[in-house]
Chains A and B, each alone.
Chain A
């Protein structure tokens, strides 16, 4: 059974810092991996989708990497801003799972001015 772990559970940083969120998964036979952010009381917003054949994806200040063989992904946020404060969720999609996502517990990020 696939298990997804995110470290740290919570992170507080001053504005302007670069930061890294970590995600690990136990079964490396994934189809792709998706990073989301969730604001309090809201649904999930997709940030980046990395296919299993890719090593990284970039969108603006966000960069996600994937090392499928070691079961790890990182989300790098450059020059953090208070508006980045949210819960960040990592989710993996297995190759034979009809596309359903298995989620980590999330990292709660607070960026203070």
Chain B
């Protein structure tokens, strides 16, 4: 596609429910990143994919968070048993090559946990 797309754009859920957030990268971009933007913490790295592998998961805040990527393309970020502190905007970014090139961001998914 022309740019990085994310769905849904907004998600409201109840505490304790599981949610899935989706990222569709720019075609041909092998590097994919998930970031989280919250009021108190700014923009924080969550996980990095190169192809279908995730060599860096160091930013995932707890074991309730997981992500996968299939076919070197679409990625899904899953949050289990959501908590109110998970409320944030989740941003996906992709780049060509190894990831040290320019990163292009999607519009984000705004998650609200009630």
Tell me what chain B mostly uses at the interface: helix, strand, loop, or mixed: strand
A61 to B70, CA, bound (A): 40
Give chain A nearest CB distance to B47 CB in angstroms.
9
Choose among A36, A43, A49, A98 the residue that contacts B107 (Cβ–Cβ < 8 A).
Answer: A43
Whether A89 is near chain B, meaning CB under 8 Å from some CB there, is: yes
Give chain A nearest CB distance to B99 CB in angstroms.
3
Q: Mark interface residues in B55-74 (1 if CB within 8 Å of A CB, else 0).
A: 11001000000000000000
B67-114, CB < 8 A from A? 91, 93, 95, 98-108
Cβ contact within 8 Å between B100 and A43 = no
Give chain B nearest CB distance to A106 CB in angstroms.
7
Whether A24 is near chain B, meaning CB under 8 Å from some CB there, is: no
Most buried by B among A93, A98, A104: A98
Whether A103 is near chain B, meaning CB under 8 Å from some CB there, is: yes
Q: Mark interface residues in B18-61 (1 if CB within 8 Å of A CB, else 0).
A: 00000000000001010100000011110010100001100100
Whether A76 is near chain B, meaning CB under 8 Å from some CB there, is: no
Interface residues of B, CB < 8 Å — how many? 27
A58 to B74, CA, bound (A): 33
Whether A53 is near chain B, meaning CB under 8 Å from some CB there, is: no
Cβ contact within 8 Å between A101 and B45 = yes
Cβ contact within 8 Å between A43 and B106 = yes
Whether A34 is near chain B, meaning CB under 8 Å from some CB there, is: yes
Q: Residues on A close to B: CB < 8 A? A: 31-32, 34, 36, 42-46, 49, 89, 91, 93, 97-106
Q: List 12 A-B contacts (CB under 8 A).
A: A32-B100, A34-B102, A43-B108, A46-B103, A46-B104, A91-B43, A98-B99, A100-B56, A101-B43, A102-B45, A103-B42, A104-B42
